[in-house]
């Protein structure tokens, strides 16, 4: 958190909001990444826009990291994975697989992810999204309190 800058956070948030609004207005779709990605395999009826969105999402993140490295989460240092908590004796691959599976199950059960509920759902004043976001943040706070990883 020592590299937090409100200006870059505000610009990033504005770009996320703008992208969500463009997708909603131009395509009538909510920018929930788990829903967009989740319907690529097996292919849904409309695969092209989903594939283009995911490729552009990754390309945009890559371009920003490549051309503006000082804006990243670690400042000029490249971002790196956080190690599992000391004393838990969990190897990094197991830690990543368990985390990914929990996120995947959670987004499926919750009918959306943080981007779908947090950005788009709250903007549409969805009560279900408000509950989901409160749970996301509550679990995040609890996780930080238990693991000590910030």
Decide if pLDDT at 1 tops 60.
no
Please state, in angstroms and as integers, the Cα–Cα distance from residue 150 to each residue in 75, 130, 141, 147, following that order: 16, 24, 10, 9
The pair of structure tokens assigned to 128 is: 């279900």
Give the whole-angstrom CA distance, residue 143 versus residue 145: 5
Domain boundaries, given as residue ranges, for the chain? 1-80, 81-150
pLDDT tens for each residue of 86-140: 788 888 889 889 988 888 888 888 888 888 888 888 888 999 999 999 998 999 8
* Res. 75 pLDDT band, cuts 50 70 90: low
User: Which value, to the nearest 10 degrees, does the dihedral of the CA atoms of residues 6, 8, 12, 17 take?
Assistant: 50
List of residues 6+ apart from 49 with CB closer than 8 A: 27, 29
Evaluate whether 33 touches 103 at the Cβ level (below 8 Å): no
The answer to whether the predicted template modeling score (pTM) of the entire model surpasses 0.85 is no
**What whole-number percentage of the chain has pLDDT above 70?**
89
Please state, in angstroms and as integers, the Cα–Cα distance from residue 10 to each residue in 21, 67, 118, 127, 137, following that order: 16, 19, 16, 25, 19
Average pLDDT over the chain, rounded to an integer: 84
């Amino acid at each position: 958190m020592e590299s937090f800058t409100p200006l870059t956070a505000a610009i990033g948030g504005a770009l996320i909001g703008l992208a969500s609004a463009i997708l909603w207005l131009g395509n009538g779709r909510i920018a929930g990444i788990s829903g967009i990605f989740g319907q690529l395999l097996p292919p849904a009826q409309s695969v092209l826009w989903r594939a283009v969105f995911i490729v552009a999402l990754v390309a945009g993140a890559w371009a920003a990291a490549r051309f503006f490295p000082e804006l990243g989460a670690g400042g000029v240092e490249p971002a790196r994975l956080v190690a599992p908590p000391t004393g838990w004796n969990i190897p990094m691959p197991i830690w990543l697989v368990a985390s990914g599976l929990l996120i995947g199950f959670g987004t499926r059960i919750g009918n959306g992810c943080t981007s779908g509920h947090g950005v788009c759902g709250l903007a549409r004043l969805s009560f279900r999204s408000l509950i989901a976001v409160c749970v996301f943040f509550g679990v995040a706070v609890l996780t930080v309190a238990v693991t000590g990883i910030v």
